[in-house]
Amino acid sequence: MDDSLTLTTPDGRTVGYADFGPATGLAVLDCHGGPGSRLAPRAAAAAAGPAGIRLVGIDRPGYGLSTPWPGRTIAGWVPDALAVADALGIDRFAVIGSSTGGSYAVALAALAPERVIGVLLCCAVTDMRWPEGRRLVGGSGRAGDIWDAPDRATALEIAREFWGDDGLRPATTGASTLAPADAALFVDPEFVRGVLLSLQQSFAWGVEGYTDDRIADGAGWGELDLAAVTCPVTIVHGTEDRLVDVRVAHHNKALFPHAELRIVDGLGHFSIGTQVVPTLLDLLDLNAAA
């Protein structure tokens, strides 16, 4: 199953989502990267479905089918995700947070602990109140400049200058920060097709989603009570990630002392996707045994 659906929030916004895998499978809500979209779980769905995992991707505001929401916060997004779970009849679920999405996975676990059974942080960002984190994460998409922008209009212009309105400017200018394991993926036509489809959805509203992601994560995790995250947590990160430095994973481990930390030699920000399903299976087995 791979249906793109929408719902309407009480304040009149549209939220887009996509349902991958068996309806009877164990549900996992996917918090995509920035940029990203509800289609992010597509790559893992082929392996996840036969393993009995139902992946659900959700467009954050300003991405894909979801209406932009200027001023949104990380914690403020949580009701959108819970509304999607409710619409699909899903009571309890695990969450995956990839890159920027890591903050939103943490928010779900902190604010809805009775519903979240496990968290997988995959090359995830961290609490940006950590000064070192800004240096270790801020090299992609002029994130640091957006964090320092005096207002949203300026931030939008900074993002537009880097990405273009369709997200293709970094590719056409030859800019690349890919690790060798990541670059190897781009020789696969099917992988490239998926990336282009994802970019199309990521920039359906221009750079609004990306910009609002950066403004939100620049404020850090001050709204969240990390002690409320008591479910199993696994942190997986590649040593060659050039977008979110591996030292960020170690910092996240310090924030969640009960988490399992898996550092994978040679993998980068995109190639780490090969570890998602096996790591998720281990995480959920851990939860079942607890």
Cis, bond preceding 35 (omega within 30 deg of 0): yes
What does the alpha-carbon distance between residue 99 and residue 83 come to, in Å, rounded to a whole number? Answer: 23
φ and ψ of 271, to 5 deg: -65, -20
Domain 2-289 listed as CATH 3.40.50.1820: yes
Determine how many CB atoms are found less than 10 A away from the CB of residue 239: 15
What does the alpha-carbon distance between residue 51 and residue 171 come to, in Å, rounded to a whole number? Answer: 35
* Torsion on CA atoms 44, 229, 99, 281, rounded to nearest 10: -20
pLDDT in tens, the chain (290 residues): 456 899 999 999 999 999 998 888 999 999 999 999 999 999 899 889 899 999 999 999 999 999 999 999 999 999 999 999 999 999 999 999 999 999 999 999 999 999 999 999 999 999 999 999 999 987 678 899 999 999 999 999 999 999 998 888 876 544 456 889 999 998 999 888 888 888 899 999 999 999 999 999 999 999 999 999 999 999 999 999 999 999 999 999 999 999 999 999 999 999 999 999 999 999 988 445 44
